[in-house]
């Protein structure tokens, strides 16, 4: 019987996960199909319950469902609980296990592709959703010196950091944390002295309402900062273009996408992820879409 793995999110027109995950499954000649399924928030519960069927191995969870999915699984690993979000579900005998591979994917990409070590550094996160939670968790666990979260709704950023303070306390980590409203007149001041700037919002994402916009203008970006945009489609986002013009080092979201997907692949199949195959398929998929 053909097994299935699905991607649940809304919208999904920008996604290339099916391309590189199917390439990895085909590399091992596995009788498994990876399918993207758009599901609105009201449809998430029924979509997750469907995974209990024996023909499913699991799922990836993406925007805007990562936090909601945590409440729908039977068990969640330590990382998912610490982050407060699930991006991978593993099905075993009708039970649903929640995992978060975004943390490992973020750090692998930052260190291996970006050559940046976050320990002892000052970081600014833009956004306070599920992706931001994974990034914040990764930075706290890595010993970042300070973590600032900027969000349009500052209460959401405050709630995120309250969770991260518990993570830091449990791990004996000292990371200074502050939540700030994302107001244009304050941006230049907030960015001063930041070593790492991470866009955890969907701003600039292809097919999104804010596809053509950057969360930061060129003049506000420090030339000596490292700018990491988690958006991967398009490969060169408005933020990355602004950062490059400002002289900053940059990294797009493709590396994190593939690294987190590779870890999920290993959880579903028990096989080592063929990273080269996955990166090649991901880049082909972006090229075919003209980005």
- 166-196, pLDDT tens digit by residue? 999 998 989 999 999 887 666 777 788 899 9
Can you count the helices (H) and strands (E) in the chain?
11, 12
Alpha-carbon distance 15 to 253, whole Å? 12
Q: Give yes or no: residues 95 and 50 share one domain.
A: yes
pLDDT value at position 289?
Answer: 74
Report which secondary-structure segment, H or E, holds 24: helix 17-27
Q: Give yes or no: residues 182 and 277 share one domain.
A: no
Q: Residue 239's domain is classified under what CATH number?
A: 3.40.50.720
Q: Give yes or no: residues 163 and 221 share one domain.
A: yes
What is the rounded average pLDDT for all residues in the chain?
A: 94
Q: Give yes or no: residues 154 and 229 share one domain.
A: yes
pLDDT value at position 184?
Answer: 63
Q: Give yes or no: residues 72 and 148 share one domain.
A: no
Average confidence (pLDDT) over 247-272: 97
Q: Give yes or no: residues 148 and 21 share one domain.
A: no
Q: Give yes or no: residues 114 and 194 share one domain.
A: yes
* Lowest-pLDDT range of 8-12, 247-251, 254-258, 286-290: 286-290
Q: Give yes or no: residues 36 and 174 share one domain.
A: no
pLDDT digits (tens, 9 = 90+) for 72-112: 999 999 999 999 999 999 999 999 999 999 999 999 999 99
Domain count, the chain: 2
The SS3 of residue 181 is strand
Burial of 78 (0-12, 13-18, 19+ CB in 10 A): exposed
Q: Residue 9's domain is classified under what CATH number?
A: 3.40.50.10860
Q: Give yes or no: residues 156 and 42 share one domain.
A: no
66 is catalytic: yes
Q: What is the percentage of the chain residues whose pLDDT exceeds 90?
A: 83
Helical axes 130-141 vs 154-171, angle rounded to 10°: 30
Provide the pLDDT confidence category of residue 263 given band limits of 50, 70 and 90: very high
Domain housing 109: 103-252
Q: Give yes or no: residues 119 and 232 share one domain.
A: yes
- What Å distances lie between residue 15 and 105, 275, 291, CA to CA? 17, 18, 13
pLDDT value at position 290?
Answer: 57
pLDDT value at position 63?
Answer: 85
- Pick the catalytic residue from 3, 66, 121, 141: 66
Q: Give yes or no: residues 117 and 244 share one domain.
A: yes
pLDDT digits (tens, 9 = 90+) for 112-150: 999 999 999 999 999 998 889 999 999 999 999 999 999
Q: Give yes or no: residues 157 and 169 share one domain.
A: yes
In contact, 160 and 133? CB cutoff 8 Å: yes
Provide the pLDDT confidence category of residue 208 given band limits of 50, 70 and 90: confident
Alpha-carbon distance 258 to 109, whole Å? 9
Alpha-carbon distance 43 to 254, whole Å? 28
Report, in angstroms and rounded to the nearest whole number, the Rg of the chain calculated over CA atoms: 18
């Amino acid at each position: 019987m053909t097994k299935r793995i699905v991607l649940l999110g809304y919208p999904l027109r920008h996604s290339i996960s099916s391309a590189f995950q199917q390439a990895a499954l085909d590399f091992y000649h596995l009788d498994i199909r990876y399918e993207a399924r758009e599901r609105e928030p009201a449809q998430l519960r029924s979509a997750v319950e469907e995974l209990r069927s024996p023909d499913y191995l699991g799922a990836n969870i993406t925007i805007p469902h990562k936090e909601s999915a945590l409440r729908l699984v039977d068990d969640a690993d330590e990382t998912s609980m610490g982050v407060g979000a699930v991006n991978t579900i593993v099905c075993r005998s009708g039970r649903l296990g929640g995992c978060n591979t975004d943390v490992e994917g973020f750090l692998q990409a930052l260190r291996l592709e970006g050559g940046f070590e976050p320990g002892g550094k000052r970081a600014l996160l833009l956004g306070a959703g599920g992706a931001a939670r994974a990034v914040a968790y990764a930075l706290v666990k890595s010993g970042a010196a300070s973590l600032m979260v900027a969000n349009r709704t500052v209460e959401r950023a405050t709630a995120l950091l309250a969770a991260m303070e518990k993570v830091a306390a449990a791990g004996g980590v000292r990371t200074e944390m502050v939540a700030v409203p994302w107001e244009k007149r304050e941006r230049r001041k907030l960015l001063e002295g930041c070593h790492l700037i991470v866009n955890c919002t969907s701003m600039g994402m292809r097919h999104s309402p804010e596809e053509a916009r950057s969360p930061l203008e060129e003049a506000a970006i420090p030339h000596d900062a490292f700018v990491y945009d988690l958006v991967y489609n398009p490969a060169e986002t408005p933020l990355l273009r602004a950062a490059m013009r400002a002289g900053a080092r940059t990294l797009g979201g493709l590396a994190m996408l593939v690294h987190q997907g590779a870890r999920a692949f290993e959880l579903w199949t028990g096989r080592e992820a063929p990273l080269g195959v996955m990166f090649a398929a991901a880049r082909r998929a972006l090229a075919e879409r003209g980005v």
